[in-house]
Chains A and B, each alone.
Chain A
Amino acid sequence: MTYLNIDHVGITFDTDHGPLNVLDGVALKVDKGEFVSLIGHSGCGKSTVLNIVAGLLQASSGGVLLENREVNEPGPDRAVVFQNHSLLPWLSVYDNVRLAVDTVFKGSKSRQERHDWTLHNLELVHMSHALQRRPDEISGGMKQRVGIARALAMEPKVLLMDEPFGALDSLTRTHMQDSLMEIQARLNNTVIMITHDVDEAVLLSDRIVMMTNGPSATVGEVLHIDLPRPRDRLRLADNPRYNHYRAAVLKFLHERHAQPDVPVQPRSKPALKLAAG
């Protein structure tokens, strides 16, 4: 039975140059405990799909059903791991996770239980050694771990990850991928992850959803990854099936849906406004 149903979602933004149809009829059904990757060229609308599932954006057509109930606002049952970690810089690692735990389990867990649950989730991502440090005192990989711990601590029905390791160096990224696989083996969450990295997608996913280029992007092709778990990146390196999957994704991205010749959009960062007196 379908757990999460993205039912022919389309979205049109009003821009200065008139309406912009970014997504058109994106359809995807995700089973419970499934790990799905979204891959596609920059600007095709992956984040937009994820934000619609999260409830942060409203679809213009179609809708999202989670356990047969329509999603129309954000909530902790669809926790998001943001691309730029989005930890509160004024709170310690512990307090960042604790804030989420306190909000989600206000009525259902005692104080002590919430404390233990916070520690448990930080333990899961191997961050117990830096509980009292502030986000600007830890490395990028550690911040991303805390972001994951915060999302996991909400016990979400679906975990949404927007390029969680995109900003990390490749060595840290492989560590984080291994960590994520280990956590996934224990908790068996339902996950939708956006990635740009073909190896990452094949290594982690049960299914890879490849999106066509925008505007009016939609699901181009879905690839089932039938590799036994636990997966080991070294042993997979010369596994013919693994390489076949890689090749399939690469072909989709670079042969059939090569990046149209528009300049790649710079990653938008929140604009820093300077104030004068």
Chain B
Amino acid sequence: MTIALFNPRTTFHSPALDRLQACLQSAQFPRRVVGMVRHLLIPFIAIALFLGVWGAAAKNIQTSLGELPGPGAVWQQAVSLYGEHQAERAKADQFYARQAERNAQKLAEDPDAEVRVRPYTGKPTFIDQIGTSLLTVATGFIIASLIAIPVGIVCGMSATLYTALNPLIQVFKPVSPLAWLPLVTMVVSALYVSEDPLFAKSFVTSAITVTLCCLWPTIINTTVGVSSVSKDLLNVSRVLRLGWFTKTVKIVLPSAIPLMFTGMRLSLGIGWMVLIAAEMLAQNPGLGKFVWDEFQNGSSNSLARIMVAVFAIGLVGFALDRGMLLLQRRVSWDKAAVLR
């Protein structure tokens, strides 16, 4: 018997799995249990195997910072990083409590006293760094989408404009964020001068770098989506004599939405990768800086902590992609395209 559970086309035989399969297909198991096994148990086995191989391999790799950490050490560091975060939070709470108390006292003594509330200035924890990175990537991505979607729409509708912009798009698309970074840093330093900046310079630099790399997939896919509206649907609009605006809103944009989302998903993925590199290089706060700092720090725990960051980066990237997918599912009419 073949193992249809995995992929009906790859037919290989294994008595143990055959028995498992037969067991699953017998009437005792309702479909839901079978589904659960397929979606939980099988990935679980794969992950367990991965951890086993990793653990075994790690023991045999000696680095200047000691043994490459195995799953256990990494887990320990994850717990400890979370603990540090909790401790830091507690300290912050205490700080604010003390400050409030002091201010209350001051006011009680002299109702006209000037009360100042100072923010807590502790070291950002791992969790804070994740938050910063998320905020930065979100900012960069939203700015990029706000620019790229209209540009893509206009390029898709006007062949002339497309011909004009296409060379620029094609040349800038493959540029690595690392090449943009020095330029962006200098330009931000030169232009973003204010006494009391709303955002830190480093934040602006990273966000703009992300924007620059997020633009292209969205522009290109939106352009293709808009320009490849089915000719038959355009004929419908001509027969109905739809005005330019109605045609755009009712026919062109909806049919471009699936590709627009494809572009945005690609952009977000690229943006997240770019951000980590940018933070690392430019010493902007965030996960990239965390990794860099740990690397420079070079303690015995550093490698395990970096590994925690690697997993965090992967999980966040995965969550971002899933988030876009959910959004696409809500917004797009093309339910089949979503699964691609």
Query: Chain A: residues with CB nearer than 8 A to chain B?
Result: 54-56, 73-76, 78-80, 82, 84, 86, 88-90, 99-100, 103-104, 134, 136, 154, 270, 272-273, 275, 277
Q: Is B220 an interface residue (CB 8 A)?
A: yes
Closest Cβ of chain B to A109, distance in Å, is 15
Please judge, given known A-B contacts A86-B232, A275-B225, whether A104 and B240 are in contact too, CB under 8 Å.
yes
The 3 closest A-B pairs by CB, nearest first: A90-B333, A277-B217, A277-B266
Chain B residues, Cβ within 8 Å of A270: 230-232
Asked if A103 contacts B242 (CB within 8 A), the reply is yes
Q: Secondary structure at chain B's binding surface: helix, strand, loop or mixed?
A: helix
Please judge, given known A-B contacts A86-B235, A86-B236, A89-B333, whether A277 and B241 are in contact too, CB under 8 Å.
no
Asked if A82 contacts B236 (CB within 8 A), the reply is yes
Identify the closest chain B residue to A103 (Cβ). B240
Cα A84 to Cα B236 in complex, Å, equals 12
Q: Is B251 an interface residue (CB 8 A)?
A: yes
Identify the closest chain A residue to B229 (Cβ). A270
Query: Chain B: residues with CB nearer than 8 A to chain A?
Result: 216-217, 220-221, 224-225, 228, 230-233, 235-236, 238-242, 246, 250-251, 254-255, 257, 259, 262-263, 266, 270, 333-334, 336
Chain B residues, Cβ within 8 Å of A55: 238
Asked if A80 contacts B239 (CB within 8 A), the reply is yes
Please judge, given known A-B contacts A79-B239, A273-B224, whether A90 and B255 are in contact too, CB under 8 Å.
yes
Chain B residues, Cβ within 8 Å of A74: 235, 238-239, 241
Please judge, given known A-B contacts A90-B254, A270-B230, A277-B221, whether A75 and B236 are in contact too, CB under 8 Å.
no
Asked if B240 contacts A99 (CB within 8 A), the reply is yes
Asked if A56 contacts B251 (CB within 8 A), the reply is no
Cα A82 to Cα B235 in complex, Å, equals 9
Cα A103 to Cα B249 in complex, Å, equals 14
Select one of B220, B231, B240, B255 contacting A100, CB under 8 A: B240
Q: Secondary structure at chain A's binding surface: helix, strand, loop or mixed?
A: loop
Cα A153 to Cα B236 in complex, Å, equals 14
Identify the closest chain B residue to A99 (Cβ). B250
Cα A76 to Cα B236 in complex, Å, equals 10
Cα A100 to Cα B224 in complex, Å, equals 27
Chain B residues, Cβ within 8 Å of A88: 233, 236, 250-251, 254
| Between-chain CB contacts (< 8 Å), 10 pairs | A76-B239, A82-B235, A86-B236, A88-B233, A88-B236, A88-B254, A103-B240, A103-B246, A136-B336, A277-B216
Closest Cβ of chain B to A80, distance in Å, is 5
Please judge, given known A-B contacts A88-B251, A275-B224, whether A80 and B266 are in contact too, CB under 8 Å.
no
Interface contacts beyond A89-B333, A277-B262: sample of 19 additional A-B pairs, CB < 8 Å, sorted by A? A55-B238, A56-B235, A75-B241, A76-B240, A79-B239, A80-B239, A82-B235, A82-B236, A88-B251, A90-B255, A99-B240, A154-B240, A272-B228, A273-B228, A275-B259, A275-B262, A275-B263, A277-B216, A277-B263
Cα A207 to Cα B226 in complex, Å, equals 42
Identify the closest chain A residue to B238 (Cβ). A74
Cα A208 to Cα B336 in complex, Å, equals 42
Select one of B241, B266, B334, B336 contacting A76, CB under 8 A: B241
Closest Cβ of chain A to B219, distance in Å, is 10
Asked if B228 contacts A134 (CB within 8 A), the reply is no
Cα A277 to Cα B246 in complex, Å, equals 29
Cα A233 to Cα B277 in complex, Å, equals 74
Identify the closest chain A residue to B228 (Cβ). A273
Identify the closest chain A residue to B336 (Cβ). A136
Cα A56 to Cα B238 in complex, Å, equals 8
Cα A30 to Cα B32 in complex, Å, equals 63
Cα A105 to Cα B333 in complex, Å, equals 27
Select one of B225, B233, B254, B263 contacting A86, CB under 8 A: B233
Closest Cβ of chain B to A40, distance in Å, is 22
